[in-house]
Structure 1
Amino acid sequence: MDLSLVLALVAVALSVLFLLVTRARKPWQRGKLPPGSLGLPVIGQSLGLLRAMRANTAERWIQDRVDRYGPVSKLSLFGIPTVLLTGPAANKFVFFSTALASQQPRSMQRILGERNILELMGADHKRVRGALLEFLKPDMLRLYVGKIEGEVRRHLDENWAGRRTVTVLPLMKRLTFDIISLLLFGLERGAVRDTLFREFVDVMEGTWAVPLNLPFTAFSRSLKASARIHRVFTGIARETQAKLERGEASRSSDLIACLLSLTDDSGAPLLSEEEIVDNAMVSLIAGHDTSSILLTFLIRQLADDPDTLAAMVHEHDEIAKSKGDGEALTWEDLAKMKLTWRAAQEMLRMVPPVFGNFRRATKDIEFDGYVIPKGWQVFWTAAATHMDGSIYPEPDKFNPSRFETQSASVAPPCSFVAFGAGPRICVGMEFARIETLVALHYLLRRFRWKLCCKENTFVRDPAPSPLHGLPIELAEHKAASP
């Protein structure tokens, strides 16, 4: 870890230390604290966790703590006293407790905006979540399959066809960005979308950066790019409002149009302009990362898994045979892609796009006989259950059959948390499923590939990224005739 990062962590932690010290009661006044250590003042265990994530040993780092202290332990992360909770019961507690509020890194808060759904609680959270779900309910999603298909086919024609090698991760990131730009903001292909993508790259680099707003930092670049994107979204929202008033757009046109169309019982707008813009930013980031990472790691897996590849190809060939030549995919076709989605779920189990996240205790609460003091963080990780051999036998083995209906019922509740759970479960889960299934349908029927790198590894920084972005040798495949 270089000195600049250490100094940055110290600066961030000092900004919250005084508040924590002055507001906190003494631990022995609260009850029995979990075992463990808060580590060095201010730094705590932050550097150890960051090193482990970048070395792809974070699961081992978590398990070492569990082996030493048990499923509940205290530590200090990013300058804040923290309780690590692991296991299905702990996941259920984290996702369903009303005494735990969402706790995003300060860098994320400032980039996304104050009125984004990740920061809201109570009635505000319920109102904004309900508005987003209006756009993502099944009868609306049915309308988007054709648009997603169009973006996928154009992307493959322009970026894959005729190429001997491609690098998968950046291409998947651009594909999912283009899909989201069209469906969420109504942005067709062109200069505005291309400019927005460049700004988005800068935003993503700073979302988990140390929040030092200095000219040379990733966080500073991210803040400036975020401000520019917010201005673009504000302009889109105002233009869309005018189109709605002229009858040139409808609720189903895109996310912005849907949110602008919603009203409360008195007929007033359900969401403010700030809420629409901030949650458009959340939707862009959340929808982009999950699907692009999932598709990339599925491509990596299928390169060396001929049995799964053959079974998935057969599934998609059968769907194609049931349709006329050139006929578009439908919602009903997606329902037939059962094996493909089981494979996607298994990949999400093994390589969840989000390693873990934080909650904040809004009052003193108790779990498993230990007190979590008000103001402390709670840290949960997906890997603690996803890679638990007592829940998923041979957890390092890729086995999509785990997610067959009968097999999935064996796992305890809250064992699979790739999309979270409870009131804050990812609202875009079904949208991500559609993106993944449509993209795989055309990838599997048009191409075959081999990995270029013998070393098949990845790192987390903080999202998983395969070595060199996953370069592959590509060959076009003559699909079975429909």
Structure 2
Amino acid sequence: MDLTNCFIFFLLLTSLYFALTRKTPPKKHPPGSMGFPLIGQTLSFLHAMRTNSIEQWLLQRTSKYGPVSKLSLFGTPTVFVHGQSANKFIFTCDGNVLGNHQPPSFKRICGERNMTALIGDDHKRVRGALVSFLKPEMLKQYVGKMDEEVRNHVEMHWHGNQKVMVMPLMKTLTFNMMSSLIFGIGKGETRNNLIELLQHMMNGLMSLPINLPFTRFNRSLKASAQLRAFIKNLISERKAALEQRVADTRKDLIACLLGIGKTEPSIRMSDEEIVDNVISVMIAGYDTSSVLITFLVRLLGMDRSVYDKIVQEQEKIAKTKTSELLSWDDLAKMKYTWRVAMETLRMNPPLLGSLRKVLKDFEYEGYTIPKGWQVIRAANMTHMDERIFSDPSKFDPARFEKQASIPPYCFVAFGGGARICPGNEFARIETLVTIHYLVTRFKWKLCCLDNSFSRNPFPVFNDGMLIEIEPKDC
């Protein structure tokens, strides 16, 4: 081999060596800190939630690191994002990239098969089954039953009292409605025992998953086990009744889900999935609606002009309704009341945001987000963005006169896109029926103008939201 060929061969070997040994440039992760091992920012995050300083906590992160930052929550590397583009990405992202995700404490208490923890085809199947019960066509037939629950509640807990604590009463009311429509259980000792179990269970949803005696998480697990045993017994009873044809699949949620399994095999749910998702629906219906109604009562006690407009609308409906009970058509006339509710949700969303699990590496805003991390969004930061909602701190129901004028993925109190909350119509009915009977039967004023609250993870008023009530002459 001559010198020229040797030199060419040497160059080829050298090039091959550098090509094989050259290091891949490190992937660029979002700015931020992971904090202490395992704990990360979990304790400061939970403290901010429980002291209602989470907005300031998130704003500090944004001002320090920008709109995309990394941190560690519940032992998992996390990316925090917010804004319209972030919401759109999360709600429309391929199910192979981002999947539903909940903190370990939530999954262990509510079960691995609840809709908020499922991904891909399983999520679509379970969601489809739940939507079959929660769609408007089905809910129309339950308006009268919810009307009766509200009137019974008002008669029992409001009439004859000078002062009432709104938040615990609204939780009782929404639970009673859920109990009736999910379980088919009327008032009595069983309901009382169930609401106590649910409250104990929910106390640990956002806790450190340390299962030691006397911890919040331990108490929640015990309550969850008892509630699950109760639901399993109900499933067995409904199955027997349906087989003997002495029960209607429209009786309640459990009967509906069992019936769907026979008529639509593609969305059939196992008993375990029914248990897990009944618990999830209970939590969503119990807390989100009660929080919204409590905030509305607070608003109407503080803003006389809004109160007067709602009273005018509701009294007109009360005079013109065609039966003793409210109907679906009556609810459709409550346009101003629902705009007020939507603006309340914009300013005080019951749920801060949501978590998604990263199923494979992806690029976002120039950063690599690795598989195994989680993504968290914050609805309140989009809702209070002055680039989207002018003068966002001002309460203005007129924003929702033409909801189409609000850019997509900017109002996300119920989620967005294909992932919009399947229970949003149920929440609308609960809220409108309740407000109708409160404003047509009572006047009220707040006993304390402070009315501060914490999040656990839903807002909890520190004094229960005490008000002084005065019955109207009917």
Scaled by the length of structure 1, the TM-score of the pair is 0.90
- Which segment drifts farther, 41-50 or 148-157? 41-50
Select 1:361's aligned residue among 333, 358, 361. Answer: 358
Aligned residues: CA RMSD:
1.8
CA distance in 2, matches of 1:78, 1:359: 13
CA distance in 1, matches of 2:81, 2:427: 27
Aligned-partner SS, 2:196: helix
CA distance in 1, matches of 2:426, 2:469: 28
- CA shift in 2, pair 1:298/1:429, >3 Å: same
**1:18 alignment partner in structure 2:** none
Does residue 455 (structure 1) correspond to residue 450 (structure 2)? The answer is yes
CA distance in 2, matches of 1:307, 1:428: 30
- Which segment drifts farther, 42-51 or 264-273? 264-273
**Which letter maps to 2:386?**
G
Residue 300 of structure 1: how far off its partner (Å): 0.5
Residue 53 of structure 1: how far off its partner (Å): 2.1
8 Å CA contact 1:264–1:270 kept in 2: the answer is yes
- CA shift in 2, pair 1:269/1:238, >3 Å: farther
Select 2:63's aligned residue among 67, 72, 83. Answer: 67
- Which segment drifts farther, 111-120 or 142-151? 111-120
CA distance in 1, matches of 2:159, 2:431: 19
Does residue 478 (structure 1) correspond to residue 473 (structure 2)? The answer is yes
> Any idea what the Cα deviations from partners look like across 1:279-305, whole Å, max 9, x if unmatched?
111111111111000000110111010
8 Å CA contact 1:101–1:361 kept in 2: the answer is yes
**1:286 alignment partner in structure 2:** 284
**1:335 alignment partner in structure 2:** 332
**Which letter maps to 1:59?**
E
> Any idea what the Cα deviations from partners look like across 1:317-336, whole Å, max 9, x if unmatched?
11111125x62110000000
8 Å CA contact 2:125–2:266 kept in 1: the answer is no
Does residue 434 (structure 1) correspond to residue 452 (structure 2)? The answer is no
- CA shift in 2, pair 1:357/1:269, >3 Å: closer
Does residue 421 (structure 1) correspond to residue 416 (structure 2)? The answer is yes
CA distance in 2, matches of 1:216, 1:49: 22
8 Å CA contact 1:30–1:371 kept in 2: the answer is no
1:367-378 aligned at under 5 Å gives the runs 367-378=364-375
**2:12 alignment partner in structure 1:** none
Aligned-partner SS, 2:116: coil
8 Å CA contact 2:68–2:81 kept in 1: the answer is yes
- Which segment drifts farther, 299-308 or 446-455? 446-455
Higher Cα radius of gyration: 2
CA distance in 2, matches of 1:257, 1:448: 40
Gap regions ≥5 residues in structure 2: 1-22
8 Å CA contact 2:201–2:223 kept in 1: the answer is yes
CA distance in 2, matches of 1:309, 1:429: 24
Scaled by the length of structure 2, the TM-score of the pair is 0.91
1:70-469 aligned at under 5 Å gives the runs 70-98=66-94, 99-263=97-261, 270-324=268-322, 327-405=324-402, 408-469=403-464
Identity fraction in percent: 52
**Number of aligned residue pairs:** 450
> Any idea what the Cα deviations from partners look like across 1:70-110, whole Å, max 9, x if unmatched?
21111222222111111100011112212111110111111
- CA shift in 2, pair 1:28/1:177, >3 Å: farther
**Which letter maps to 1:231?**
A
Gap regions ≥5 residues in structure 1: 1-26
Does residue 37 (structure 1) correspond to residue 33 (structure 2)? The answer is yes
8 Å CA contact 2:442–2:469 kept in 1: the answer is yes
8 Å CA contact 2:292–2:350 kept in 1: the answer is yes
**Which letter maps to 2:91?**
F
